[in-house]
Structure 1
Amino acid sequence: MSGDRARIEVSHLTKRYGEVTAVRDLTFTVEPGLVTGFLGPNGAGKTTTMRMLTGLVSPTSGTATIGGRPYRRLPRPSRTVGAVFDASAFHPGHTARDHLRVYAAMGGYPDSRVTALLDLLGLAEAADRRTRGFSTGMRQRLNLATALLGDPRVLLLDEPSNGLDPEGMRWLRGFLRQLADQGRTVLVSSHVLSEIQQLVDDVIMIRRGELVAAGPWSRLAGPPAVLVTSPDADRLAATLQASRPDGDAPSVEVIQAGRLRVHGLDAPGVADLAAEHRLRVHELVTETSSLEQLFLHLTTDKAATP
């Protein structure tokens, strides 16, 4: 499948349930070869959007396509899209192998594919255990194995990190990165922002069903700031702001007495300027924006604005 055939495109997508609008005029693109984080508070419309992508929910208006086609028009959907929405959708009396064989038969895939995925997902030793005894983390792995039966080029994963311990989270990061590096399109919703930040290339954020930010995480995060601790903080702030008379001076935020946050100049630049003017500096720390900070700024602060 070419890159174009693996691209997800959502255009002016809207879903209403009576008087409630779950998704409102949503437009974004998810590119192949990247892990894209789909983020928003509870009730923001993430799961509804992903279900519209897979034809489980019909949009009120707008379009959601994969490779230019709605899901229902894909000739063999499981070869194109693998989706994980529910970590508990297993028959409790089935073993992991039974479960995968049922879905393999439905999709027309050989038992050899089941064996390969049990190995790939680290489930070989548990293959003949009944799923009723599986931990949440093992259920997540089995869900991923189910989604990968058709070797799809697109993966839609709704909260795949739920229930994973730190080792499982590290495994998931590496596994999804490997899939993206193979040229697959990976869309992941999650509330574990610290983990998602270590994984994603692009970010899509929604609030109350509307888009609030989209793009590469490196661009959305912006350049790092410098935290400065100095007994001469007032003089240093004035010096920094007067350092470039052309109007392109660093911006300085006073955090508290003796502590500044500087944007527009890196740590060596702040140190050199302070030394030139014989101003004391006790600490310099480069501060990169976190996904959590951006998330809270765009979904909480904005919500509180009248």
Structure 2
Amino acid sequence: MTEATMTGERLRIEARHLTKRFGDITAVDDLGFTVEPGRVTGFLGPNGSGKTTTMRMMIGHITPTSGSVTIGGKRYREFTDPSAAVGAVFDAASFHPDHSARDHLRVYAAMGGHPDERVDELLSLMDLTGAARRRTRGFSTGMRQRLNLATALLGDPRVLLLDEPSNGLDPAGTAWLRSFLRHLAGEGRTVLISSHVLGEIQQVADDVVVIRQGRLVTAAPLSELSGMEAAVLIRSPDAEALVQVFTRQPPAGPEPRVERIGPDQLRVWGPDAAHLADLAAAHHLRIHGLTTEEPDLERLFLDLTGSTR
């Protein structure tokens, strides 16, 4: 990355009352949220919820019916050098089958007015140097995804919009992408990533925006979402008595929140497993199972969107 870009402007994405109708179908409905610079934001929703339509409105591929979306206070078309401001990767991107990877990037570099040496820099960065002269018709899905990302990065943009960027990547490629996105956010860039791989979003995102049927469900830091904190699962024949103890005589530290999930099972948020075990022992109550349950974005997503497994 160039020094100018690393110290460049921080650009916030702001959607206000964003609406898009296709005939009688409302794909996006009065949607409003912000995406902050220096952070990775996961954009989540069931298939058909309006994520890709929203992202395409950000870069002018689709015109809103009403409302607006701005990047750094500007509409995309107002940027004099848009590829230096915003880079976008969409799952449906395609390449001329007879072009090599280098040819493809050189064409887009010329169109954007970017130096030719940027092409080899990105081929190396995306581990595509060995395939630089190969025709894209023979590329795997993962190689196409990396070439998509290289294309988006030609202008060294301050904002990245990534629609399902990990599709087709092997585990090593997925881990590399996760690290790379964190690096970009660390430079102050704005990263919005749509993905159905919720485990990946949970590992990489700072914030999430969740939509359903084109409307906002929630937008918040991932760590602040209810349900995105560790819980303790307890199995006990004295479950009812434990509920009374935990709620009436809470242990020192965080106040517990208790959910009854079965005749002899509880889920408790707040105190850790050791505190809860000590409290049960102090009241001579039996515990037959005690497990720390890590936060689960998939379960939270299903609850928020009303989806089913």
**TM-score band (shorter)?**
over 0.9
1:278 is aligned to 284
Q: Distance in 1 between matches of 2:133 and 2:250?
A: 69
Matched, 1:45 2:50: yes
DSSP 3-state at the match of 1:226: strand
- 1:139-192 deviations in whole A, cap 9, x for unaligned? 000000000000000000111111112122111111111111111100000001
Q: Distance in 1 between matches of 2:257 and 2:63?
A: 48
Is contact 1:52–1:64 with CA below 8 Å preserved after alignment?
yes
Which residue, out of 129, 143, 147, partners 2:148? 143
Q: Distance in 2 between matches of 1:93 and 1:159?
A: 25
Aligned CA distance change for structure 1 residues 182 and 4 (closer, same or farther; 3 Å): closer
Matched, 1:215 2:220: yes
* 1:244 Cα offset (Å): 4.7
- Write the letter of the residue equivalent to 1:287: E
Q: Distance in 1 between matches of 2:280 and 2:80?
A: 65
Q: Distance in 2 between matches of 1:148 and 1:28?
A: 25
Q: Distance in 2 between matches of 1:77 and 1:265?
A: 49
Per mean C-alpha deviation after superposition, the further-off stretch among 233-242 and 128-137 is 233-242
Q: Distance in 1 between matches of 2:114 and 2:257?
A: 59
Q: How does 1:1-306 map to 2 (within 5 A)?
A: 5-220=10-225, 221-244=227-250, 250-300=256-306
Aligned CA distance change for structure 1 residues 230 and 3 (closer, same or farther; 3 Å): farther
- 1:234-270 deviations in whole A, cap 9, x for unaligned? 332332232159xx96343332343221234332221
Is contact 1:242–1:249 with CA below 8 Å preserved after alignment?
no
* 1:299 Cα offset (Å): 0.8
Q: Distance in 2 between matches of 1:86 and 1:296?
A: 23
- Write the letter of the residue equivalent to 2:203: Q
Number of residue equivalences: 300
TM-score, normalized by length of structure 2?
0.92
TM-score, normalized by length of structure 1?
0.92
Aligned CA distance change for structure 1 residues 238 and 86 (closer, same or farther; 3 Å): closer
* 1:87 Cα offset (Å): 4.8
DSSP 3-state at the match of 1:198: helix
Give percent identity, aligned residues only: 66
Gaps of 5+ in 2: none
- 1:58-90 deviations in whole A, cap 9, x for unaligned? 111111011100000111100000001145410
Is contact 2:233–2:266 with CA below 8 Å preserved after alignment?
yes
Aligned CA distance change for structure 1 residues 188 and 249 (closer, same or farther; 3 Å): closer
Q: Distance in 2 between matches of 1:28 and 1:84?
A: 20
Q: Distance in 2 between matches of 1:229 and 1:3?
A: 54
Gaps of 5+ in 1: none
DSSP 3-state at the match of 2:179: helix
* 1:5 Cα offset (Å): 4.6
The root-mean-square deviation of aligned C-alpha atoms, in Å, is 2.0
